[in-house]
Structure 1
Amino acid sequence: MMTSLFDQFMSPVFMGIPLIAIATLIPWLLWPTPDTRWLTNRLLTLQAWFINQFTHHLFTPMKSEGHKWALILTSLLLLLISLNMLGLIPYTFTPTTQLSVNLGLAVPLWLATVLMGLRKQPTITLGHLLPEGTPAPLTPILIVIETISLLIRPLALGVRLTANLTAGHLLIQLTATATLALLSLLPAAAALTMVLMYLLTMLEIAVAMIQAYVFVLLMSLYLQENV
């Protein structure tokens, strides 16, 4: 019996080996390998259509320098969707409920966009720290505020993804616990809570896909500012 609701978010360890690494690598085995043939199966066709639509929507408003990131951001989207969705299966673990994992994805990519902007267009990148037309007395204060807002971006990315997934998992677990408790006492109430649990599961599936898309979309916006 679990001593706390948050025990489900602890990184599992088997014989001293952290299983979070396995949980992170396994989703890549589930995606079908692209084929060079013109005629493929329906799954490969759907996957290719989804990737084409995503890259077109994400990189059309961006300069050509940012198109080099298409493979990185598309792979990141597929990885996040896989991790978030597989975490809804019973007896599995969701690595993206760990803030350290999300920050490990957000910080290097955010830092790469900032460094690329400083290398290619340092004047424009540094100009984002001070809005145009700012009064002279407010210049130091605004520079500090904009610098803090710039540095907090990867933390906001990681916390947003962690908080949304954690809240959804907790709601599902609380509803499932209530269903089991009411099953022998009030079967009608247990049926209602079971329906609520199914609805929450469907909502969590949508949240898992949307949060992965939001994570990559915000990263593309940061990239767009620096290319």
Structure 2
Amino acid sequence: MMSNLFSSFDPSSSIFNLPLNWTSTALGLMFFPLALWAMPSRWILIWTSITSALYKEFKILLGPLNSSGSILFVSLFSLIVFNNLLGLLPYIFTSTSHLSMTLSLALPLWVSFMIFGWINHTKHMLAHLVPLGTPAPLMPFMVLIEMISNIIRPGTLAVRLAANMIAGHLLLTLLGNTGPHLSLSILSILILSQVLLLLLESAVAIIQSYVFAILSTLYASEVN
């Protein structure tokens, strides 16, 4: 029995109170070596087609001069989607439901984009603070609004991913805890709803990985 509702998201392991749960972040890397020595299976071919499509999309967003950077965002998508999907399996810790994980991904990317943009494209970054066609009296307010919206970008990226992952897990946990107290007829309905929620959560895991990667790509394209 869980001591509280959030104990399933506790990053501390019960073995000598060590944070061994964070090793689940590297579990997705175990799937990559299979493509190097094993015969290509249908799953590997599907994954290759997905990453190729993402690479082409990120390449268009970044432009022809920075197309090589799309490999970084494909790797970012792969890392997040593996952690999100593995977190749906029983007894596997979901590291992307913690802000310490999502902020560690979003904040260094945003800081590097800002440093690169302000050093190499200072005029372009200043021009972004005032949208085209803004009336002169509103320019100071627009600069303030644009600065605030730019500063909160890593926070919105991190909170969006963590909140979406933790919300579905909490809903599954709440419904699962009511199972032992229900009759057999209602329990069958609960199991069906749990399966449907699990399918929905799988879709959310993929969509949120794509949203995180595509927004990071758009932020990178703005500094060029």
TM-score with structure 2 setting the length: 0.92
Higher deviation after alignment, 69-78 or 131-140: 131-140
The equivalent of 1:93 in structure 2 is 93
**Deviation above 6 Å: which 4+ runs of structure 1?**
none
Structure 2 spans left out of the alignment, 5+ residues:
none
Q: Is the 8 A contact 2:22 2:93 kept in 1?
A: no
Aligned counterparts of 2:106 and 2:37: Cα–Cα separation in 1: 32
The equivalent of 2:28 in structure 1 is 27
Q: Is the 8 A contact 1:175 1:194 kept in 2?
A: no
Structure 1 spans left out of the alignment, 5+ residues:
none
Secondary structure of the residue that 1:26 maps to in structure 2? helix
Aligned mate of 1:196, from 193, 196, 203 = 193
What is the Cα deviation at residue 16 of structure 1?
4.1
The equivalent of 1:213 in structure 2 is 210
The equivalent of 2:121 in structure 1 is 121
Aligned AA (2:16): M
Secondary structure of the residue that 2:210 maps to in structure 1? helix
Higher deviation after alignment, 51-60 or 85-94: 51-60
The equivalent of 1:169 in structure 2 is 169
> How many equivalent pairs are there?
223
Aligned AA (1:108): P
- 1:51-77, CA deviations, whole angstroms, 9 ceiling, x for partnerless residues? 111111222243123312222111111
Do the aligned partners of residues 111 and 33 (structure 1) sit closer, same or farther apart at CA in structure 2, a change above 3 Å counting?
A: farther
Equivalences for residues 1-227 of structure 1 within 5 A:
1-13=1-13, 14-35=15-36, 40-182=40-182, 186-227=183-224
- The RMSD of aligned alpha carbons is 1.9
What is the Cα deviation at residue 162 of structure 1?
0.7
Aligned AA (2:92): T
Secondary structure of the residue that 1:60 maps to in structure 2? helix
Higher deviation after alignment, 103-112 or 51-60: 51-60
Higher deviation after alignment, 151-160 or 126-135: 126-135
Secondary structure of the residue that 2:88 maps to in structure 1? coil
